[in-house]
Chain A
Amino acid sequence: MRVSPKLDDPDRASRLWIGVGLLLLLAIALQGSKFDLLQLVEQNSWDAATDFFTTFWPPRTDTEFLQRLLGAAIVTVSIATVATVLAMLIAIPLAIMITSRLSLSARGRPMRRHARLFRSLLRAMAIFLRSVPELIWALLFVGVTGLGATAGIIGLLLTNIGILAKNYAEIIESGEATITGHLLDNGNGRLKTLLHGTLGQGLPELLSYSVYRWECTLRTSVVLGFVGAGGLGQELLISVRQLASPEVFSIILVFVLLVFVADSLSASLRHQLSGISSQAANTSVCVRYDQLRSEPVYGAMFHRYGMALLVVAMVIACFGSIDWKLHQWLRADSLGRSLEFVQGFLAPDVSATMLRKLAEQAMETLSMAFAGTVLASGVAIVLSYTLFVLHLREEKTIGFSLLISIIHSMQIVLRSIPELVWAMLLIVAVGIGPFTGTLALFAASVGVLSRLYSECLHNQEKHTLENLLSNGGSVNLAPLWSTMVQARSQLISYCLYRWEHNLRAATLMGIVGAGGVGQELYFRLSLFQFNKVATCIMVIVLMVVLADTVSHSLRHRFAPSV
Chain B
Amino acid sequence: MKLAVRDVSVTYGGTAPVALSQVSISLGEQEQVALIGPSGSGKSTLLSVLGVARIPSAGQLLLEDQDPWQLASAKLQGLRSQLHLCPQSTALPARQRVVVSVLSGLLPKRSLLFALRSLLSPARADVQLVRGLLTKLDMEQCLWRSVETLSGGQRQRVAIARAMAADVSTLLVDEPLSALDPTTAELCLGVLVEHAMERQQALVCSLHQIELARKCLKRIIGLRAGKIMFDLPATSVSDKMIEELYRGHEAEIQT
Which A-chain residue is minimally distant from B118 (CB atoms)?
A: A196
Q: How far is the CB of B205 from the nearest CB of chain A, in Å? A: 16
Residues of B contacting A187 with CB < 8 Å? 77-83, 108
Please report the C-alpha to C-alpha distance between residue A280 and residue B119 in the assembled complex, in whole angstroms: 14
Once A107-B53, A280-B146 are accepted as A-B contacts, the answer to whether A186 and B83 lie under 8 Å apart by CB is: yes
Q: How far is the CB of A315 from the nearest CB of chain B, in Å? A: 19
Which A-chain residue is minimally distant from B88 (CB atoms)?
A: A178
Residues of A contacting B80 with CB < 8 Å? 184-187
Once A192-B115, A200-B94 are accepted as A-B contacts, the answer to whether A108 and B144 lie under 8 Å apart by CB is: no
Please report the C-alpha to C-alpha distance between residue A175 and residue B134 in the assembled complex, in whole angstroms: 27
Chain A residues numbered 1-50 whose CB sits less than 8 Å from any CB in chain B? none
Please report the C-alpha to C-alpha distance between residue A187 and residue B94 in the assembled complex, in whole angstroms: 21
Q: Check if A195 sits within 8 Å of B141, measured CB to CB.
A: no
Residues of B contacting A202 with CB < 8 Å? 95
Q: Check if B91 sits within 8 Å of A179, measured CB to CB.
A: yes
Please report the C-alpha to C-alpha distance between residue A299 and residue B54 in the assembled complex, in whole angstroms: 44
Check if B233 is an interface residue, CB within 8 A of chain A: no
In this complex, which of A179, A199, A296 has the most chain B Cβ atoms within 10 angstroms of its Cβ?
A179
Binds A, one of B30-38, B99-107, B184-192, B193-201: B99-107
Residues of A contacting B78 with CB < 8 Å? 187
Q: Check if A188 sits within 8 Å of B116, measured CB to CB.
A: no
A196's partner among B48, B119, B140 (CB-CB below 8 A) is B119
Q: Check if B144 sits within 8 Å of A186, measured CB to CB.
A: no
Q: Check if B144 sits within 8 Å of A297, measured CB to CB.
A: yes
Chain B residues numbered 68-123 whose CB sits less than 8 Å from any CB in chain A? 69, 73-74, 76-87, 89, 91-97, 100-101, 104-105, 107-108, 112, 115-116, 119, 121
Once A108-B54, A295-B121, A297-B144 are accepted as A-B contacts, the answer to whether A188 and B149 lie under 8 Å apart by CB is: no
Check if B51 is an interface residue, CB within 8 A of chain A: yes
Residues of A contacting B85 with CB < 8 Å? 182, 185-186
Q: How far is the CB of B95 from the nearest CB of chain A, in Å? A: 4
Q: Check if A185 sits within 8 Å of B146, measured CB to CB.
A: no
Q: Check if B54 sits within 8 Å of A191, measured CB to CB.
A: no
Check if B131 is an interface residue, CB within 8 A of chain A: yes
Please report the C-alpha to C-alpha distance between residue A301 and residue B141 in the assembled complex, in whole angstroms: 20
Once A108-B53, A192-B115 are accepted as A-B contacts, the answer to whether A182 and B91 lie under 8 Å apart by CB is: yes
Q: Interface residue tally of chain A, by bracket?
A: 35 or more
Residues of B contacting A292 with CB < 8 Å? 124, 127-128, 131
Check if B3 is an interface residue, CB within 8 A of chain A: no
Check if A492 is an interface residue, CB within 8 A of chain B: no
Please report the C-alpha to C-alpha distance between residue A56 and residue B227 in the assembled complex, in whole angstroms: 85
Please report the C-alpha to C-alpha distance between residue A23 and residue B227 in the assembled complex, in whole angstroms: 66
Check if A327 is an interface residue, CB within 8 A of chain B: no
Check if B8 is an interface residue, CB within 8 A of chain A: no
Q: How far is the CB of B254 from the nearest CB of chain A, in Å? A: 23
Q: Check if A186 sits within 8 Å of B108, measured CB to CB.
A: yes
Once A186-B83, A187-B108 are accepted as A-B contacts, the answer to whether A277 and B127 lie under 8 Å apart by CB is: no
Interface string of A268-289 (1 = CB under 8 A from B): 0000000001001100110111
Q: Check if A199 sits within 8 Å of B143, measured CB to CB.
A: no
Residues of A contacting B77 with CB < 8 Å? 104, 184, 187-189
A201's partner among B95, B108, B143 (CB-CB below 8 A) is B95
In this complex, which of B55, B80, B83, B166 has the most chain A Cβ atoms within 10 angstroms of its Cβ?
B80
Residues of B contacting A203 with CB < 8 Å? 95
Which B-chain residue is minimally distant from A198 (CB atoms)?
A: B93
Residues of A contacting B247 with CB < 8 Å? none
Residues of B contacting A189 with CB < 8 Å? 77
Q: Check if B145 sits within 8 Å of A195, measured CB to CB.
A: no
Q: Check if A185 sits within 8 Å of B73, measured CB to CB.
A: no
Q: Can you list the 10 inter-chain pairs with the closest CB atoms, starting with the nearest?
A: A200-B93, A187-B81, A187-B80, A200-B96, A182-B91, A187-B108, A281-B146, A109-B55, A185-B53, A296-B144
Given contacts A181-B53, A189-B77, A192-B107, 10 further A-B contacts (CB under 8 A): A107-B53, A179-B91, A181-B87, A183-B104, A187-B79, A187-B82, A191-B115, A196-B96, A197-B93, A284-B145
